[in-house]
Homo-oligomer: A and B are copies of this chain.
Amino acid sequence: MTRPHDLRRPLTLRDVSEASGVSEMTVSRVLRNRGDVSDATRERVLKAAKTLGYVPNKIAGALASQRVNLVAVIIPSLSNLVFPKVLSNISDELEDTGLQPVVGVTNYSPEKEEQVLYEMLSWRPSGVIIAGLEHTDAARAMLLNTDIPVVEIMDVDGEGIDSVVGISHRRAGLHMAEAIIAAGYRQIGFIGTKMPEDHRARKRLEGFKEGLAKAGIALADAEFYSGGSALAKGREMTEALLKRNPNLDFIYYSNDMVGAGGLLYCRDHGLDVPNQIGLAGFNGLDLLDGFSQRLATMDACRGKIGRKAAQIVAERSQGGQATGEVIEMEPVLQLGDTIRKP
């Protein structure tokens, strides 16, 4: 293909309109499939646009029409595996709505979140999907101050700004504790990340402790790590915990990846899982499906959460008026092979 337009000036509607002999308005109508245009004109315009290699300028279009087909999606991390899953579901759900997700990553930093949010709002998106309920005051203010739909996802333990779609991590931890106790384990340890800003992991641990307390049990020991490969950390921390506390009969991990590391450690050291020691993680990562033993876990409903959040934004941006819904999903406990059956 040649490059027909080589003047310094970038292509505009006017170029297409001159090339096809109609007004800019008509070209605009053709390119957006809006309003009545005769077939002959339409074809002529399309041909001219294609020949020139014209790409519409959405910046100008958005300014004029006060409409932006973008949805801001703000998440803590992409290397976590849980967020890409949410994201792809959002993306799929938005596919036919004319809306498009734009991702911002905060690295679990509230300040970064505020900054990313500011940046995104300045593009006037049609909606915001943001992970978690904890934000800086300024971020909350921005979200309250805007009149586009806001959906906070993943977590329902707390007060939302507008709509909320997620699970109760507190209760997820609590239920896991109950299941573990029901299976007869009593010396229970915990391994998780040190990140103070991972509120969902924190809530799970709190709920977990609460569940133990209800049965009159306290957490026997805990290890917190930060950085590094989760799998390797799971292995290391498990070793450290078991060396320090050889009579542990269960370890609860803050996510499946560390849990898998722990599982590998136990197998390598001939520990009988789940009889000698039980293990459980969190998330239901299908990534781990190939392991010899399936780790006990709890599905975080990541896919469903993404879809629902996208639906809410899509409906609202089409004029739907429902506002401030809170939708709680029910995570399902999967015992797998690492909790002994009663």
Contact = CB atoms under 8 A, between A and B. Distances in A.
Contact of A123 (B3, B58, B140): B58
A88 B78 contact: yes
A327 interface: no
Contacts of A62: 59
Count the copies. Answer: 2
B84 A79 contact: yes
Contact of A88 (B56, B68, B79, B84): B79
A59 B69 CA distance: 13
A141 to B, nearest CB: 4
Interface residues of A, number: 58
Contacts of A268: 292
User: What does DSSP make chain A's interface, helix, strand, loop or mixed?
Assistant: helix
A233 interface: yes
Interface in A42-88: 53, 55-60, 62-63, 68, 78-79, 81, 84-85, 87-88
A118 B100 CA distance: 13
A103 interface: yes
Interface stretch (A33-41, A203-211, A282-290): A282-290
A264 B290 contact: yes
A261 interface: yes
A63 B288 CA distance: 47
Contacts of A91: 105
B59 A63 contact: yes
Interface of A: 1, 3, 5, 53, 55-60, 62-63, 68, 78-79, 81, 84-85, 87-88, 91, 100, 102-103, 105, 118-119, 121-124, 137, 140-142, 144-146, 228-235, 257, 260-261, 264, 268, 286-292
10 contacts: A1-B141, A53-B141, A55-B121, A58-B123, A79-B88, A84-B84, A229-B290, A230-B290, A231-B289, A232-B289
